[in-house]
Structure formats: structure tokens, C-alpha cells
Amino acid sequence: MIWVLGCRGMLGSQLCELFQKNKLSYTGTGSEVDVTDFSELENFADKLESSSGSKIDFIVNCSAYTAVDKAEDEKESAQKINSAGPFNLARIAEKKGAAIIHISTDYVFDGNAIQPILETEKKSPASVYGKTKASGEDNIISSTQRYYILRTAWLYGFYGKNFVYTMTKAMNSRESVKVVCDQKGTPTNCSTLAQVIFEICSKKTVPYGIYNVTDAGQTTWFDFCREIYSLGTKYGRISNNCAINSCTTDEYPVKAKRPAYSVLDTSKIQSALNIKLPDWKLSLEDFIKDERFSVK
């Protein structure tokens, strides 16, 4: 059995859909179970096993504090959810003989790399959000050997706020938008990450460890936005004539420092699962033309 935490979030929603479609036994929880409360988690895990009559095999942590700029002012909240939460879940996993699958981020690096970043690269977070996520990774590694830490980047999905929806809405209502052109990374469809998690849970033979999981290729936020406009127009999601202008990071000030380069090397997960991750442009097209696409 699989326990999915954060089941109503962007990734968790799609993951549970995938599990259901493939008849994989899971239980999903959201805010009704507090990841920062060890006793509450322990009690829930005990009840889950006794009521279902089956053992928890995987604890999938899709819960996270993801407000990157807000985290600069809300350090304690970010730390509790992104660091203490994973620590609690890893200890529950260790006690239950389960494996933990935890979602991490490109923000554990400072963005000064010049080539795709390997899993073995030393962490060097430059923001509060990045530091709390790095701490969460460390807490898991110190608590259990049965872990899968999946680092992803530039994630978007059907059920939640994300860059694709934000820009689609903006480009439908404005004459122009301005997007940074000097930050490079890989846009990643939640479907790709959910599929990888599904494969890990189904196979049960993937070696434990840290894995980078993103779509393939790389781009800038500016070119990502241009592709959203192109595909959005093609599939009738955008019906407005909108100019897309570029700017530098310095011209678009935000509280938290963003990585200038956060392309992750995904060869390890592709080899472990014997798969080829899709190109980010193809993933984006699949997303935009899907019937679940819905800008609020």
C-alpha cells in the first residue's frame, strides 16, 4: 500500500489520478494530517495499517512549502514543513519498514553551475526555501536508508497555480508581458514526475538514492513563455495578441535569489528505470492540449 501526503496539491492530485487509473492501492491525505506533528503521523500510519490489513510499502511526500519569496519572511513555517516534516516521515518509514519518496528541488543549488547538475554535486542553497529543502533532504538521509529523493524543477500541472497557467491568463488579458531571459532550467510537466513515482512504486526494485527528474532539454523563462504563447494560440487557449518582452533578473527584483542555471542531469533515473524522459516542448504541448487544462 502507498500513502500519499499532499494528495490535493498540484503533483499529489495527478499522482493519485495515475494510481487510481492503474489500480494501485493508495491512501491520500492533505491538511487533515499534519506533517509537522510526529505523533499525529504515527497514529495515522498505525490506524491505516490496522484498518486496511496491509503494510505501508511507500510513503510519498508531495507536501511542501513552495512560496519561494514568502519563505524569506516565514522561515519558521518553511522550516517546519520542508525540513521537520520530511524528518518525521522518514522516521515513520524507518519504523514501518517502508520506503519514503520525497520531492525536492533545483533550489538546493546556488545556480552557478555551467553544465547539467549531477545528484552528487554539493548542495549550496542561496534562499531560505532552498535551505529548508536541503535540510529536509539531510534529515531523510540521516533517518533511513530506504529513501528516494527526487529533485525536480520548473514544475507545472493541471491542479494548482503554476507558470503556464499564470502566463496563459496574463497573455489573454494584457497587451504585453515581461519575462526574465537570463535564468536557465527545464520546465517539467507533473505527468512526467508522477509517471516516475508510479514506476518506482510498481517495480519495487529501483535502487534507493537521490535522483534528478525533469523533462529533457533546457530553456529560459522567456523562451518558455514564448512556447506557451505559440502552443496556447495553436490550441485555442490564448486568443489575444500579446507582446512578450525580455528582461534581466536585475530588472525584475524579487525577495529570494533564483538560480541562474538549474538544469539537472537526469541520466541516472533514465538508466535506473530504462526510460527516456520526454522533451520539455512535447510535454508542454501535451499539457496545453489536454482536456484537464483549466486556467482559473
Taking residues 273-278, report their average pLDDT: 98
Confidence of residue 174 (pLDDT cuts 50, 70, 90): very high
Residue 159 grid coordinates: 491542479
pLDDT (tens digit per residue) in 112-126: 999 999 999 999 999
DSSP of 190-243: HHHHHHHHHHHHHH--SPPEEEE---BS-EEHHHHHHHHHHHHHHTTS--S--E
| DSSP H or E stretch at residue 66 | none
pLDDT tens readout for residues 80-96:
999 999 999 999 999 99
| Residue pLDDT, tens place only, 135-147 | 999 999 999 999 9
Does residue 243 lie in a domain region? no
Instruction: Let me know if residue 202 belongs to a domain.
Output: yes
Measured distance CA(79)–CA(92) in Å, rounded: 19
Average pLDDT over residues 261-271: 99
227 is a domain residue = no
Q: What is the mean pLDDT of residues 160-186?
A: 98
Could you give the dihedral angle defined by the CA atoms of residues 206, 118, 70 and 138, in that order, rounded to the nearest 10 degrees?
60
The domain spanning residue 213 has which CATH number? 3.40.50.720
- pLDDT average, residue stretch 39-68: 97
Q: What is the mean pLDDT of residues 244-263?
A: 95
- Number of domains into which the chain is organized: 1
In a domain, 232, yes or no: no
pLDDT band (50, 70, 90) for residue 253: confident
User: What's the burial of 177, exposed, middle or buried (CB within 10 Å: 0-12/13-18/19+)?
Assistant: middle
Catalytic residue among 65, 107, 129, 147: 129
Q: Is residue 181 part of a domain?
A: no
Distance (Å, whole) CA 154 – CA 187: 5
129 flagged as catalytic: yes
Percent of the chain residues topping a pLDDT of 70:
100
- The 10s digit of each residue's pLDDT in 22-42 is 999 999 999 999 999 999 999
The arithmetic mean of pLDDT across residues 213-222, rounded, is 99
Report if residue 104 sits inside a domain: yes
**Residue 296 pLDDT exceeds 90:** no
- Compute the average pLDDT of residues 200-210: 97
107: pLDDT strictly greater than 90:
yes
* Cα–Cα distance, 111 to 87 (Å, whole number): 26
Residue 291, pLDDT > 90, answer yes
Chain length of the chain: 296
Q: What is the mean pLDDT of the chain?
A: 98
Q: And the C-alpha cell for 144?
A: 533511513
Residue 271 located in a structural domain: yes
**Is the model's pTM score more than 0.95?**
yes
* Residue ranges making up the domain that contains 83: 2-160+187-217+262-278
Higher pLDDT, 252 or 183: 183
In a domain, 222, yes or no: no
Q: For the residues 186-199, what does the mean pLDDT come to?
A: 99
